[in-house]
Structure 1
């Protein structure tokens, strides 16, 4: 860029300012009114939005953990077992499944989850472990591993 006078040179701050503002305006493109067009207002709103986005990434992870735990607890109550007993029984049986996997099984494959719950309960009975963490007895159907596996075997042989 060629400047014919020194006053024009002083007024121009160079390409750095253009690209700095351009980045802010690009992030504020979906805002309405002066929040999108006026730089001093746009920069405040963009910085606030970036702070919220940073916090939200951590909160999303916590929300998903809570959702998975709630789904597993609900499925455990259907099978008359507590969440602690399920996790402890699966750990003792060397079945390493995380919350997400157990939640997906509880939601989309209830028969598989029922078998896992029966395995966990059977392992806890075999180890003579008493669940003292949760004194409330869940309301649901009592599980027996032999019955769960026998039902599947009978259904396969009838076909």
Structure 2
């Protein structure tokens, strides 16, 4: 009597896992049991890091804004407080891009914050 391989539904489930594991090294991309463990772990990391990425970018933007602000003799907190008082609604991503790509425009934004603080 032949062994039971559980038909096309099981094959479809296995192929779905192996497709996700494509590009993994060694048996982790070819053996179902290893691939299942690797894919489960990879999906956990992906879920976690989609949230971590948001934090990492915010930290990067703040560091860039702070560097640009200190070149204009103002601290990061004073800059952000002044922009809030002046009702300037630029988010940190835009401010960081200004600080790097357009120093003159960033200096004008800093002046607005300094005037609001004074």
Task: Give TM class, smaller chain.
Answer: over 0.9
- Is 1:111 aligned with 2:104? yes
**Runs of 4+ with >3 A deviation:** none
Q: Identify unmatched segments of 5+ residues in structure 1.
A: 1-6, 126-159
Give me the CA root mean square deviation: 1.2
How many Å separate the matches in 1 of 2:5 and 2:17?
A: 19
1:20-71 Cα shifts (integer Å, max 9, x gaps): 0001110111122211111111100111111111111111111100000000
| Aligned partner (choices 16, 21, 24) of residue 17 of structure 2 | 24
Considering only CA atoms, is the larger Rg found in Structure 1 or Structure 2? 1
Higher helix residue share? 2
SS in 2 for 1:11: coil
After TM superposition, list the pairs within 5 Å mapping 1:76-95 onto structure 2: 76-95=69-88
Q: Identify unmatched segments of 5+ residues in structure 2.
A: none
- Is 1:35 aligned with 2:49? no
Displacement of 1:88 in angstroms is: 1.1
How many Å separate the matches in 2 of 1:57 and 1:83?
A: 27
Provide the aligned length of Structure 1 versus Structure 2.
118
